Structures are given as C-alpha cells and as structure tokens.
Amino acid sequence: MKTKQELRLKFENGDQPTQEHFWEWQDSYWHKDEKIDMTKIAGLENGFPRWNDFHAEMDENGNATLAPLRVMNIFIKQGTLHIPARFASGSGISNLFLADSVLTIGEEAFSNNQLQSLNIPESVTIINDRAFSSNLLETVTIPANVKEIKDYAFAYNKLSSIYIVAGVSKIGANAFNYNPAVNTVILDSNTQYYSNSFDPNTKVIGGTLINKS
C-alpha cells in the first residue's frame, strides 16, 4: 500500500492520474464495511489489554523499562464538590486534575504520592490537614477563594516557591514546614500564621503571627 505522500505526487497540478492511481488512492483508506485488523490500531498492537498484562517500553538506550506504567493520572469529574479524607493517599499518583467545581479537599486526600505539580481550582475554599503532604511538589499557588490552609497541608514536599493570595485568613501549624528551599513568602497583613507554619529557613514578610498561649 502506497503512503499518502506517494499518492499526492500523482495528483499534482498538470498530472494526469490513471485509473490505477485512483484505485491506489481508494485502497489507502478503510471502507466502513471492512473489519480493521487489531494490529493496525494504535495501542492494540499486542491485542486487547487485560488488567494483568504489562507491555514494557524501551528507553533511549534500548533497555526495557516499566517506568511509563508507573505514571498514574487521576481526573476529578466536573461537578464534584468535596474530596473525601484519605481519598487517594499513598496511591502512587503522578498527575492530578481537579475539576473547577471542587470546594474542599479532605484530610490526607492526596498525601504520600508522587505529585510534582499542582493546579488548585479557583473554587476551592478549604485545604485540610495533610491534604498534599509528602509529595514532590516544587511550587504551589493558592487561589483567591481559599480561606484556610490547615496543619501540615503541604509539609514534606520539595517546594522552592509559594504564592499565597490575600484572601487566605489562616495558615495552620506546619502547613508549609519541612520545605527548606523556600527562601521567602509574602503574606497579606490579615493572613494569620504560626511560627512553624513555614520552614525555619523561610523568611515571612507580612501576615499576622499567632502567639500560642
């Protein structure tokens, strides 16, 4: 079967295609009544996958690798309002896609995973205890509608930058602690925080320090 590029050469300006050329053109497409060989369908070259079938990929050095199979994506359906506590804790998640309808994220909902980046929807109002703790997050932006970030919410990540908008009223104890690469964080004057809300290496500018009595 000729490629599309080869067939196009037969139909350029000034050419006089023959009947055979038209047949070749027709033969290059599947007819609606023809059954397509499964091996010709991308993703089904090895047959219809079963839950316990794993087809190894190949890395740049020609070595077999299972790395692509370890990537787990979670998509939260549009219309979802709340993420329950411990929803996907320790599940090996690599990528998370939150619907822009989500209002609250429960305790430890996505803790102990492999998240390197995170997009928090504007709809979120509360991020509960340890919601994203013990991941691989490098940066996080807290959207305008978030009112409270609770204890240890983003602790034990690999954060180097944190952006917190003026709407946040309270940041819990150890919420961003154990992220020593964060040099500075700027808070609105009305945002309350504890002395251990951030890592000891982090300089806090602004905000209102909560004095424990």
- How much is the average pLDDT of 20-28? 68
Instruction: Give pLDDT, residue 30.
Output: 65
Reported as a single tens digit per residue, the pLDDT across 187-201 is: 999 999 999 999 999
Instruction: Give pLDDT, residue 65.
Output: 80
Give residue limits of the domains in the chain: 1-69, 71-213
Q: Among 39-53, 146-160, 181-195, 196-210, which is the least confidently predicted range?
A: 39-53
Instruction: Give pLDDT, residue 4.
Output: 63
Domain 71-213: homologous superfamily in CATH:
Ribonuclease Inhibitor (3.80.10.10)
Using CA atoms, how far apart are residues 32 and 13, in angstroms rounded to an integer? 30
For the CA atoms of 122, 125, 158, 111, the dihedral, rounded to the nearest 10 degrees, stands at -120
Using CA atoms, how far apart are residues 158 and 207, in angstroms rounded to an integer? 23
Reported as a single tens digit per residue, the pLDDT across 117-161 is: 999 999 999 999 999 999 999 999 999 999 999 999 999 999 999
Between 194 and 58, the more confident residue is 194
HEC profile of 8-25: HHHHCCCCCCCHHHHHHH
Q: Are 177 and 202 in contact (CB under 8 A)?
A: no
Confidence at 5, pLDDT banded by 50, 70, 90: low
**Residue in this structure with the two tokens 């023809």, named with its chain if needed:** 34
Pairing of strands 57-58, 64-65: antiparallel
Overall pTM surpassing 0.75 (yes/no): no
Instruction: Give pLDDT, residue 49.
Output: 62
